[in-house]
Amino acid sequence: MKLKICGMKLNTAEVAQLRPDYLGFIFWEPSSRFFEGEIPELPHTINKVGVFVDAELDYVIDLVSKHQLQGLQLHGHETPEYCIKIAAELKKLNQKVDIIKVFSIKEEFDFEELKPYENVCDYFLFDTKGKLPGGNGYTFNWPVLKNYPSTKPFFLSGGIGLNNLDKINEFAKTPESKYCYAIDVNSKFEVEPGLKNIEELQKFKEAL
């Protein structure tokens, strides 16, 4: 499985030395991990993902161009039509940018919600339903994914930390993990919002 480390802010260069597959930068102002400034130069193997919540199209496209983002994580109530518009604008940039649509789960989930997005995004991401759009610090009920009806690859997110390694290994043996493309971590590896614990991330990456 691939590894995505999200909520980058204060020690991006150090985290990049671990060579995760994705680094996520949150461009939603109410977040304590809201990213401003310049992204340092990263190894070409790392994909930069911008995380947005119901953002204006122009704002998204401006940041794609500014930071040369390779992925967009849509964490709000973005409609399929919104995804289509984003894809059309990205095509004008002649730049390959993956669209990752987030869906929040607690105990149950109606997978019918995915159908309108099947042809308008590249990945799904399943996160824990909480007060905030991400960064809530606890996992959702993974067995819900037994009912996953799609073949689209997905990111598994929501409160994942070192203490979940056994759970991840067990999940990896199940049929529902077949299309799990990446593990997404954030708040469980922080000293404070946006400041990552490098040692713990390294242990997790090696174990993963």
Question: What is the CATH classification number for the domain harbouring 37?
Answer: 3.20.20.70
- The string over 41-69, giving b where at least 16 C-beta atoms fall within 10 Å of a residue's C-beta and e elsewhere, is ebeeebbbbbbbbebeeeebbebbeeeeb
Helices (H), 70-175: 80-93, 165-172
Which residues is 196 bridged to in the sheet?
A: 190
Cα torsion 79, 60, 135, 157: sign: positive
Confidence at residue 150, expressed as pLDDT on a 0 to 100 scale = 95
Contacts of 146 (CB under 8 A, 6+ apart): 174, 175, 176
Domain residues for the domain of 151 are 2-207
Confidence at residue 131, expressed as pLDDT on a 0 to 100 scale = 64
The C-alpha atoms of residue 25 and residue 90 are separated, in whole angstroms, by: 18
Q: What is the full per-residue pLDDT of the chain (208 aa) written as tens digits?
A: 999 999 999 999 999 999 999 999 999 999 999 999 999 999 999 999 999 999 999 999 999 999 999 999 999 999 999 999 999 999 898 888 999 999 999 888 999 999 999 999 999 999 987 666 555 567 888 999 999 999 999 999 999 999 999 999 999 999 999 999 999 999 999 999 999 999 999 999 999 8
User: E strands, 12-157, where?
Assistant: 22-26, 47-52, 71-74, 98-105, 123-128, 154-156
**Pairing assessment for the beta strands 123-128 and 22-26 based on DSSP bridges:** unpaired
Confidence at residue 140, expressed as pLDDT on a 0 to 100 scale = 87
Closest by Cα among 42, 46, 34, 41 to 3: 46
Contacts of 186 (CB under 8 A, 6+ apart): 5, 6, 7, 24, 33, 134, 135, 157
Confidence at residue 107, expressed as pLDDT on a 0 to 100 scale = 82
Confidence at residue 73, expressed as pLDDT on a 0 to 100 scale = 98
Say how many CA atoms lie within 13 Å of 186 toward its Cβ: 30
The C-alpha atoms of residue 152 and residue 61 are separated, in whole angstroms, by: 25
Q: N- to C-terminal Cα distance for the chain?
A: 7
Confidence at residue 167, expressed as pLDDT on a 0 to 100 scale = 93
- Number of separate domains in the chain: 1
Closest by Cα among 153, 200, 158, 183 to 2: 183
Closest by Cα among 74, 61, 19, 66 to 44: 19
Amino acid at 75: H
Confidence at residue 132, expressed as pLDDT on a 0 to 100 scale = 61
Closest by Cα among 50, 6, 61 to 28: 50
